[in-house]
């Protein structure tokens, strides 16, 4: 990690712990010693298809963070079934690649993913899930996404 | 502390003109200067008006604040009558000479850095510095575009003149490019990337603050994956890093902060993109060249010669000795069969998976692969997959 990246991540972590937004399980947040990898729990919002369900998001930061986007995916036992989330945990969300800007943060990414879950109308993986999961790279950042609808 | 300055005295009462070199104390003010001149010329100091950078200076202006160099010339004017309204020139009492002082920033090629800048005013016709502006510049356009601010030149006296503004580096005095998006962080606002409170910041006019170091790193990361988008008339440029903000950098001089090597890379990549989306654009197929250029549409025989390496080739098959006639144009057929063209920039686009929402990497347009038009609400719900 570069000094700048470490400084920024430490600040983000402190902020997240002092004022955790609703829907993020900050107590469940675990970070590697070098801050390179974080795991954050998210809870589906009330009144949505995922109400009360707990999922685990994994963030991996490169040395160029925040100028390069973090690699973000769902990990663990349950991967949410959603039209933009593949069964291997990869997420099709434009701010995680093309639309990433260094002014975004772990918190803003988590909130975007939560809002993506909230607006889903159907619990179902993308149509091309089977072929994507078989052929994709391990790192979702390497995927050249054709973004599905941002509003879901 | 003493400095040598050059002054020009225009005595309208006697019609005389004199050039003088004077040793002045740079911590002194304009009043001290006029008194020094009185000793040498016997012109009463209260009859002298000091003109610098198009303005009459107030008596209390400190000499040091003018950022003078040995080459700078100051004009002292003794009006014919003791009137302050001659020629309709600005007589506004100047309390702060902020536009003369370095309150803005420039890209200095010589220092290879962002530096504080100073604004200098010249006669548009004879380039003399002995000019008085008739109105104060109010914004960047007034100083960056020509013929905005009327002026009177004491040197050539041509009627209907305009002032010409130039920027110089405060550190080395070389001419420099004004950076309109860079300013001092007066309110000590936090950078939207690092939360730091740096002194010099970028603000694209949207009040989203990015410090110059984060802005440089942002540019470099965008250069790596060429995130610059063509936004006429600004060319290939970049959005404000603040999420969702659609302000762009309006002048490529700001990209110099990436350093010379990266700036050249930006220029090369932007040219390649532009050529790729232009019908008249072509890139030289000679492996050791790769120069991009526009071909002339008149007397066209389908061949072009690279203006750089003089390699002559067929624009269809890119071979020196055209093979278009002897072979089927399989490449073209394949491209036509497997791609659709972006409705805005016409770049051939292949869809090898995913949904029908295409974000053009060439021009930034969002379009529907199914409708071949702009991505609409209807596509959002019905055209993800076909």
- What pLDDT digit, counting tens, does each position of B101-130 carry? 447 899 999 999 999 998 889 999 998 888
Active-site choice (B126, B322, B355, B371): B355
pLDDT value at position B71?
Answer: 74
State pLDDT tens for residues B211-242: 999 999 999 999 998 889 888 888 899 999 99
Closest CA–CA distance from residue B108 to any residue of chain A (Å): 26
**What single-letter DSSP state applies at residue B349?**
E
- Using DSSP's 3-state secondary structure scheme, residue B219 falls into helix
CA angle B256, B259, B262 (to 5 degrees): 95
CB A106 within 8 A of CB A12: yes
Interface of A with B in 6-65 (CB under 8 A): 7-8, 11, 64
- Residue ranges of B 149-208 with Cβ closer than 8 A to chain A: 192-195, 208
CB of B221 within 8 Å of a chain A CB? The answer is yes
Give mean pLDDT, residues B34-43.
88
End-to-end alpha-carbon separation of chain B, Å?
A: 80
Which pLDDT does position B359 carry in this prediction?
Answer: 84
Please judge whether A102 and B381 are an interchain contact, meaning their C-beta atoms are less than 8 angstroms apart.
no
pLDDT at B90: 45
Strand partners, B7: B20, B74
Residue A68 with chain B: CB contacts under 8 Å: 221
Bridge-based pairing of strands B236-237 and B229-230 is antiparallel
List, in order, residues 6 or more apart from B292 with CB less than 8 Å away.
Answer: B271, B272, B274, B275, B281, B282, B283, B284
Q: What is the pLDDT of residues B135-146, one digit of tens each?
A: 888 888 888 888
Closest residue of chain A to B213, computed from CA coordinates: A4
Q: What are phi and psi of A24, to 5 degrees?
A: -105, 130
B218: closest chain A residue by CA? A67
Low-confidence residues of chain A, pLDDT below 50? 150-152
In angstroms, the CA B210 to CA B194 distance is 8
Check if the beta carbon of residue B122 is closer than 8 Å to that of residue B270: no
Q: Which residues are bridge partners to B62 per DSSP?
A: B29
- Nearest CB among B195, B354, B359 relative to A128 is that of B354
Kindly write down the DSSP assignment for every residue of B4-48, as one continuous string. EEEEEEEETTTTEEEEEEEEEETTSBHHHHHHHHHHHH---GGG-
Distances (CA, A) of B298 to B275, B295, B303: 19, 9, 12
Query: In the prediction, which pLDDT does A48 show?
Result: 94
Q: What is the pLDDT of residue B384?
A: 61
Tell me which of B128 and B382 has the higher pLDDT. B128
Looking at residue A46, its pLDDT comes to 93
pLDDT for position B82: 63
Q: In the annotation, is A92 catalytic?
A: yes
Q: What is the pLDDT of residue B83?
A: 52
Q: Which of B204, B243, B350 to mutate to test the interface with A (most CBs of A within 10 A)?
A: B243
Over residues B252-277, mean pLDDT: 90
0.95 exceeded by pTM: no
Nearest residue of A to residue B221, measured between CA atoms: A67
Q: pLDDT averaged over chain B? A: 84
Cβ(B238)–Cβ(B246) below 8 Å: no
The answer to whether the CB atoms of A64 and B357 lie below 8 A apart is no
What band does B256 get if pLDDT is binned at 50, 70 and 90? very high
Query: Residue B99: what pLDDT?
Result: 45
Q: Do A103 and B220 touch (CB under 8 A)?
A: no
Task: Write down all domains in chain B, each with its CATH number in brackets.
Answer: 2-78 (3.10.20.90), 116-178 (no CATH), 183-275 (3.30.40), 281-314 (no CATH), 338-384 (no CATH)
Match 């509003």 to its residue by tokens: A151
Q: Which two tokens stand for residue B26?
A: 């740079």
Of B218, B355, B380, the CB nearest to A146: B355
Report which of A78, A38, A71 is spatially closest to residue A55, judged by C-alpha positions.
A78
Cβ–Cβ contact B241 with A under 8 A: yes
Reduce the DSSP state of residue B105 to 3 states and report it.
Answer: strand
CB–CB contact B217 A67 (8 Å): yes
Residue B31 has pLDDT above 50, yes or no: yes
Number of A to B CB contacts under 8 A, please give it.
Answer: 71
Residue B357 has pLDDT above 80, yes or no: yes
Across B357-365, average pLDDT? 79
Phi and psi at residue B273, to the nearest 5°: -65, -45
CATH number at A4-142: 3.10.110.10
Going from the C-alpha of B21 to that of each of B47, B189, B313, the distances in angstroms are 20, 45, 64
ipTM above 0.90?
A: no
């Amino acid at each position: 990690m570069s000094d700048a990246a470490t400084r920024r991540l430490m600040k983000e972590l402190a902020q997240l712990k002092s004022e955790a937004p609703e829907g993020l399980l900050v107590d469940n947040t675990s970070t590697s010693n070098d801050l390179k990898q974080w795991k954050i729990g998210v809870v589906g919002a009330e009144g949505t298809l995922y109400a009360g369900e707990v999922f685990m998001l994994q963030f991996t930061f490169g040395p160029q963070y925040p100028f390069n986007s973090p690699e973000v995916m769902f990990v663990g036992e349950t991967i949410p079934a959603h039209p933009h989330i593949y069964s291997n945990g990869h997420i099709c969300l434009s701010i995680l690649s093309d639309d990433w800007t260094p002014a975004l943060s772990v918190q803003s990414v988590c909130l975007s993913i939560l809002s993506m879950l909230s607006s889903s109308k159907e619990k179902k993986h993308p149509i091309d899930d089977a072929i994507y999961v078989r052929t994709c790279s391990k790192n979702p950042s390497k995927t050249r996404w054709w973004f599905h609808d941002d509003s879901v | 502390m003493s400095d040598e300055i050059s002054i020009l005295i225009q005595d309208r009462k006697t019609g005389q003109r004199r050039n003088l070199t004077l040793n002045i104390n740079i911590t002194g003010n304009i009043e001290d200067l006029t008194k020094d001149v009185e000793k040498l010329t016997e012109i009463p100091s209260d009859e002298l008006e000091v003109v610098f950078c198009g303005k009459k200076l107030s008596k209390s202006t400190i000499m040091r604040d003018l950022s003078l160099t040995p080459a700078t010339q100051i004009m002292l004017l003794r009006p014919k009558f003791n009137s302050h309204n001659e020629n309709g020139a600005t007589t506004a009492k100047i309390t702060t000479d902020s536009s003369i002082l370095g309150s803005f920033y420039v890209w200095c090629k010589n220092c290879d850095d962002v530096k504080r800048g100073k604004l200098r005013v010249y006669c548009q016709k004879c380039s003399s510095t002995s000019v008085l502006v008739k109105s104060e510049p109010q914004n960047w356009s007034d100083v960056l575009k020509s013929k905005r601010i009327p002026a009177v030149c004491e040197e050539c006296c041509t009627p209907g003149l305009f002032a010409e503004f130039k920027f110089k580096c405060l550190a080395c005095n070389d001419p420099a490019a004004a950076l309109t998006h860079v300013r001092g962080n007066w309110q000590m606002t936090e950078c939207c990337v690092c939360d730091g409170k740096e002194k010099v910041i970028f603000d694209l006019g949207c009040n989203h603050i990015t410090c110059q170091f984060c802005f440089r790193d942002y540019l470099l990361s965008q250069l790596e994956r060429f995130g610059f988008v063509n936004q006429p008339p600004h060319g290939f440029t970049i959005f404000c890093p603040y999420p969702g903000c659609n302000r762009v950098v309006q002048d490529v001089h700001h990209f110099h902060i990436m350093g010379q090597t990266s700036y050249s890379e930006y220029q090369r990549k932007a040219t390649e993109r532009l050529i790729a989306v232009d019908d008249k654009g072509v890139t030289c197929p000679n492996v050791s060249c790769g120069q991009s250029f526009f071909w002339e549409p008149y007397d066209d025989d389908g061949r072009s010669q690279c203006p750089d390496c003089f390699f002559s080739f067929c624009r269809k098959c890119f071979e020196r000795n055209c093979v278009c006639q002897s072979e089927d144009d399989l490449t073209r057929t394949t491209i036509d069969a497997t791609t659709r063209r972006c409705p805005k920039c016409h770049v051939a686009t292949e869809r090898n998976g995913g949904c029908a929402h295409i974000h053009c990497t060439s021009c930034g347009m969002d379009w529907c692969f199914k409708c071949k038009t702009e991505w609409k609400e209807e596509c959002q719900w019905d055209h993800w997959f076909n």
